[in-house]
């Protein structure tokens, strides 16, 4: 009955969700994306070969899985077709792909609007990925969005005309060239005919799967502190990458959800603007970035780096009802002399261990750190927690203690096999 597991990012994204999803999808029948779009970039390394997924569920690398794009995802048809083609070129089949008829489209005017809106924000820009995500979700909620079911029907021509006429007025008002209806229509009709075979009612498909006792893995994109409601608004994305997004983004009720795996790194990173209490500037930040290869999978931007923040982590655990943690990049911090863990904030002279996403609060907090010994040595290839060096275990144990949440997965390198999976029976804390 409870055959649905969920993988979510707990900080500002790029925690290594792709790798954990890849591992869990080996024991799943479905891998389902439920929110966001191609602002995501999920990396999986297989024997040194790197796969970066922006729209397709990362679970698709496992042959027997059915890969689903749920209704909560916003789909750029051009990017999706490119991703399908490149996967086919690598010898993978995509005949097991299913796209919700209710998923909304990202069209060229959304991408142009994303750029215009960022420019108009000036110094207060969000640092979006400029993939049209915000404008596409705006249209969805304003009720003028175009869904996959419209895209593959004859309705598309007139809906595109209506929307493009409206958007062109705005685009021209900002001094840009209007977009051309005929050329977009021609190009997107061709894309629609390529995607048509994959479109179906994925909600009823999920329900049938649940009744048949099949195992579903819901694949989070983005992360809790980028959530439109729970993140550092307005420096967030335009969807709910938190647990509620599973229900609204693929139509699965909470009673079917078993484990909620929250993914973090052994340090933190953020790409784009907005507060980041434990950010390290200068040498330490640069060292984390270089050791962890922290450059964006989607935009190539250098990621801002800092220490792990347990105040924020406790908030993310609560918001999502996380049952176990996955901590990636233990190998990265193992190369540092000292590692810091933020366990409280100093705010206006007070010591605070409760997170608030309020901007004024976050901008005026200073982290209070506990320090740990690093230099664990080379831990790649370890597959048993007990065999890890004592300093590595101390670090993990402290995270479990402060968050009262078991650490089930530990990443020891970028390759798909560089992972320690702890047996539930050996975990001290089981939720």
Binding site residues, ligand GDP, CB under 6 A: 9, 13-19, 41-43, 45, 293, 297, 328-329, 331-332, 411-414, 418
Residue 16 interaction partner, one of ligand IMO, ligand GDP, Mg ion, none, beta carbon < 5-8 Å per kind: ligand GDP
- Counting contacts by CB under 6 A, is residue 344 touching ligand IMO? no
Per CB under 6 A, the list member of 45, 82, 127, 361 interacting with ligand IMO is 127
One of 22, 42, 104, 227 is an active-site residue; which one? 42
Residues of span 252-291 touching ligand IMO by CB under 6 A: 271-272
139 is an active site residue: no
Buried b or exposed e, range 204-234, using 16+ CB within 10 angstroms = ebbeebbeeeebbbbbbbbbbbbbbebbbee
Longest dimension (CA), the chain: 65
Quick check: 56 binds ligand IMO (CB under 6 A)? no
Q: What is the closest distance, in whole angstroms, from the C-beta atom of residue 41 to ligand IMO in the complex?
A: 4
Contact status: 40 vs ligand IMO (CB under 6 A): yes
- Residue pair 39/131 in contact (Cβ under 8 Å)? The answer is yes
Report whether 328 contacts 265 (CB < 8 A): yes
Cβ neighbour number for residue 121 with a 10 Å cutoff: 14
14 is catalytic: yes
Instruction: Map tokens 């049938």 to a residue.
Output: 208
Residue 341: helix, strand or coil by DSSP? strand
Classify each residue of 135-161 as buried b or exposed e, where b means 16 or more C-beta atoms within 10 Å of its C-beta.
Answer: bbbebbeeeebbbbbbbbeeebeebbe
Q: Does 297 bind Mg ion (CB under 5 A)?
A: yes
81 Cβ neighbours under 8 A, 6+ residues apart: 191, 194, 195
Closer Cβ to ligand GDP, 406 or 413, answer by number: 413
Residue 41 interacts with Mg ion (CB under 5 A)? yes
Site for ligand IMO in 375-414 (CB under 6 A): none
Question: Are the C-beta atoms of residues 88 and 94 closer than 8 Å to each other?
Answer: yes
Residue 134 in the binding site for ligand IMO (CB under 6 A): yes
| Closest to 67 measured CA to CA, from 57, 77, 52 | 57
Least separation in angstroms between CB 413 and ligand GDP:
5
Q: Which stretch binds ligand IMO (CB under 6 A): 71-79, 123-131, 197-205, 275-283?
A: 123-131
Q: Is 218 in the site for ligand IMO (CB under 6 A)?
A: no
- Catalytic residue ranges: 14, 42
Q: Residues interacting with ligand IMO, by CB under 6 A?
A: 9, 12-14, 39-42, 126-129, 131, 133-134, 221-223, 226, 237-238, 271-272, 297
């Amino acid at each position: 009955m409870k055959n649905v597991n969920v993988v979510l990012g707990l900080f500002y994204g790029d925690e290594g969700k792709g790798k954990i999803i890849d591992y869990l999808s080996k024991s799943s029948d479905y891998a389902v994306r439920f929110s966001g779009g191609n602002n995501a970039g999920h990396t999986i390394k297989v024997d040194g070969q790197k796969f970066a997924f922006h729209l397709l569920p990362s679970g698709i690398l496992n042959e027997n899985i059915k890969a689903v794009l749920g209704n909560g995802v916003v789909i750029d048809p051009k990017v999706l077709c490119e991703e399908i083609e490149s996967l086919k070129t690598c010898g993978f089949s995509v005949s097991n792909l299913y796209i919700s008829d209710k998923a909304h489209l990202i069209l060229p005017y959304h991408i142009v609007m994303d750029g215009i809106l960022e420019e108009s924000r000036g110094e207060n820009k969000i640092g979006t990925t400029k993939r049209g995500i915000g404008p596409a979700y705006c249209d969805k909620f304003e009720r003028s969005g175009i869904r996959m079911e419209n895209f593959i029907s004859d309705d598309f021509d007139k809906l595109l005309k209506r929307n493009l006429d409206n958007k062109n007025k705005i685009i021209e008002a900002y001094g840009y060239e209007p977009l051309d209806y005929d050329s977009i229509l021609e190009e997107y009709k061709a894309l629609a005919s390529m995607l048509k075979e994959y479109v179906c009612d994925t909600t009823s498909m999920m329900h049938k799967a649940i009744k048949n006792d099949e195992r579903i893995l819901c694949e989070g994109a983005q992360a809790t502190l980028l959530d439109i409601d729970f993140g550092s608004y307005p420096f967030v994305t335009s969807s709910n990458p938190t647990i509620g997004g599973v229900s609204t983004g693929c139509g699965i009720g909470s009673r079917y959800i078993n484990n909620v795996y929250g993914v973090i790194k052994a340090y933190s990173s953020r790409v784009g603007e907005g507060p980041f209490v434990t950010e390290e500037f200068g040498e330490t930040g640069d060292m984390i970035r270089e050791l962890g290869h922290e450059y964006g999978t989607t935009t190539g931007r250098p990621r801002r780096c800092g220490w792990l923040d347990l105040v924020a982590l406790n908030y993310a655990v609560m918001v999502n009802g996380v049952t176990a943690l996955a901590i990636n990049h233990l190998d990265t911090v193992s190369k540092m002399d000292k590692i810091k863990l933020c366990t409280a904030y100093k705010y206006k002279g007070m010591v605070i261990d409760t997170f608030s996403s309020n901007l004024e609060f976050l901008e005026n907090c200073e982290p209070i750190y506990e320090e740990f010994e690093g230099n664990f040595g080379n831990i790649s290839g370890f597959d048993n927690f007990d065999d890890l060096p004592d300093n590595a275990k101390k670090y993990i144990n402290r995270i479990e203690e402060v968050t009262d949440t078991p650490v089930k997965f530990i990443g020891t390198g970028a390759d798909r096999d560089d992972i320690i999976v702890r047996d539930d029976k050996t975990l001290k804390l089981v939720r």
